[in-house]
Structure 1
Amino acid sequence: MAVVPLSPTASGGLRGAAAMTMLGCSTGVSAAFAGYPLLGGQALRYLLAAGLLLPLALRAAAGAPRPTAREWGRLALLSATGLVGFNVLLVQALRHSGPAGVGSVVGAAPLLMAVLGPLLAGGRPGRRAVVAAGVVAAGAATAQGFGAGDAVGTVLALGTLGCEVGFSLLAVPLLPRLGPVGVSAWVTVLAVPMFAGAAVLLDGRAALRVPSGSELAALLYLAVPMTCVAFLLWYRALELLGAERAGLFAGLVPITAALSGAALGEGVPRAGELLGAVLVGAGVCLGLRTRRPGRARAPRTGRARTAGGPVAP
């Protein structure tokens, strides 16, 4: 029986949904690692991930160009914001506001990506794409519960939101040349000295300690599925869908977090979480029906597969 290939929209949608589902399901894992020193723990996480991604990137680089000086600068900015800034600001925001308050702010990421993605590409935001992103953002906020926090927490949450959006938008111009494997590997490698340097300066000898059994398991999950696999899936989704449509799947994070908690026996989902799931699903379906603003692009072949490495179809 012949196998019908997936369309770019379907393929990108599956990758985006898988990446954000993994992120949402990691809530309990992150909680198990919360007691480990933040900066040193993140340095270990990205060191382990870099050890897996770098060989893939070097192998892909045999048929693909290495980053230029300008691209190294963009990669460094992406790593400093999307990896280092996001993780640090998120932890600090949670200390001032509850998860619901922070999540409601960060849940606006799909709307920002729907507006800024086309603008940065020289186009105009599509009306239906913006409406779809607004529905997804409303669904994410509904699932979170519209929590409140103090002024400092709100500012930190807005910074977290900016870093979350930067993780995707800063990568878009890099993907055509470097591919998902290259971008994932280089930003991960660059994050290691950033976290390690900050850990030494701020925490000194307290930056590292021997992890407990549960902390080690959490560290391995964060390094392998949550960094290596999810990064590759997400950046390939960005290639296939564009930032404005891929960003819709960020609304899945609070939904999958709630569902995974229910599966682990933490109670049935609340009415708000169920309503949020319906809104997110409706927004994603609406957004995937839209045509990407700007010039139409045929699915990439040949060069994109080389740059994308083993995960590219």
Structure 2
Amino acid sequence: MTRPTNPRGTLGAATAMTCVGSLTAVSATIAGYPVFGGQAVRYAVAALILFLVARFAARDGRRTRPTPREWAYLTALAATGLVAFNVCIVLATRDTGPATIGTVIATVPIVMALAGPLLERRRPAPAVVVSACVVTAGAALANGLGGGTARGLLLSLGALGGEVCFSLLAVPVLPRLGPLRVSAYSAAIAAPMLLVTGLVADGRGVLRVPTGPEFAGLAYLSVVVTSIAFLIWYDALGRLGADRAGLFAGLIPVSAVATTMALGLGRPSAADLAGAGLVAAGVVIGVRSPRPAAAPAPEPVPEPVEAGAPEGGRTL
């Protein structure tokens, strides 16, 4: 059985990753604000928005609360996909350039194309894996290869792992909790974790009153890059599957270039345009490729019929 192309999932994944890609240029407005404190504020505000939306969206008035198993997944998602990802990014920038970090994280589509199907107990689709390689090549071309130390490379790989966990750890909890609650709970769990991290790193300077541009930047990150992007990304993840949704991660560096150009901070180079073309081609091919069916579940072995029992059952 194949999964047909899902227009809503495709549009949602593309929009979410475009929003995330704009983070790079917008982050320049909060460059002077304490990093971890700013991230804690970002996720706290986003969680508040998402929980308010979830409350008004509940038609029957009942609240769906996570089970202990779901709490474990959500905590792991927040700790890796949000907190560890941000910590690795911040530390990696001290040893390597943004190009190297971006190139490493650009391999997300390949990891998702391989790991996503395995979690669903099916074989990776060759066409999607090839498409993921094309997307990764385009994203790396748009980023540039850069350079740095071995420590910076390891931290970049840590950020890659966090980015992958952000999606894969959501897959088991999305069917029951839904995109809205998964987004809200993960953001709410990450906020205090980042605040503690900021207290360790910056002490009492972890939070301060933002300036006008900083307030605008934090508001954009909270509402657009977190509340909206998380919600539509998790919705797309359930519609497309982790492997196909992962292809759209290649749009992040393309969106970063486009946002930088829109804000008048730079102009795209030939490599940027070529990279964008490769990303687009890879996404189109991968999303339109048929999806292999999941491996059939083994048939149950019939129980032996006891002597004297009627056929098809056992005596009481």
Offset of 1:29 from its aligned partner?
1.1
Equivalent residues in 2 for 1:1-313, closer than 5 Å: 9-60=6-57, 62=61, 65-295=64-294
Offset of 1:63 from its aligned partner?
5.1
Distance 1:202 1:99, change over 3 A: closer
Residues 39, 195 of structure 1: 8 Å contact kept:
yes
Deviates more, 1:34-43 or 1:223-232: 34-43
Letter paired with 1:90: I
The one-character-per-residue Cα deviations of 1:118-164 (angstroms, maximum 9, x if unpaired) are 01111111111100001000100011111122101100000000000
Aligned residue for 1:305? none
Structure 1: where are the runs of 5+ without partners? 1-6, 297-313
Residues 137, 275 of structure 2: 8 Å contact kept:
yes
Query: SS where residue 45 of structure 1 aligns?
Result: helix
Tell me how far apart the structure 1 counterparts of residues 278 and 76 of structure 2 sit (CA, whole Å). Answer: 33
Offset of 1:291 from its aligned partner?
2.3
RMSD value over aligned CA atoms? 1.6
Residues 118, 294 of structure 1: 8 Å contact kept:
no
The one-character-per-residue Cα deviations of 1:244-279 (angstroms, maximum 9, x if unpaired) are 001111101111111222222233211111110111
Offset of 1:87 from its aligned partner?
1.1
Tell me how far apart the structure 1 counterparts of residues 62 and 115 of structure 2 sit (CA, whole Å). Answer: 32
Deviates more, 1:267-276 or 1:195-204: 195-204
Offset of 1:82 from its aligned partner?
0.7
Tell me how far apart the structure 1 counterparts of residues 293 and 176 of structure 2 sit (CA, whole Å). Answer: 20
Question: Greater helix share, 1 or 2?
Answer: 1
Q: How many aligned residue pairs are there?
A: 290
Offset of 1:60 from its aligned partner?
5.0
Distance 1:63 1:197, change over 3 A: same
Tell me how far apart the structure 2 counterparts of residues 151 and 12 of structure 1 sit (CA, whole Å). Answer: 38
Tell me how far apart the structure 1 counterparts of residues 110 and 134 of structure 2 sit (CA, whole Å). Answer: 9
Tell me how far apart the structure 1 counterparts of residues 42 and 171 of structure 2 sit (CA, whole Å). Answer: 24
Query: SS where residue 95 of structure 1 aligns?
Result: coil
Query: In terms of Rg, which structure is larger?
Result: 2
Tell me how far apart the structure 2 counterparts of residues 239 and 229 of structure 1 sit (CA, whole Å). Answer: 16
Structure 2: where are the runs of 5+ without partners? 296-316
Tell me how far apart the structure 2 counterparts of residues 151 and 202 of structure 1 sit (CA, whole Å). Answer: 23
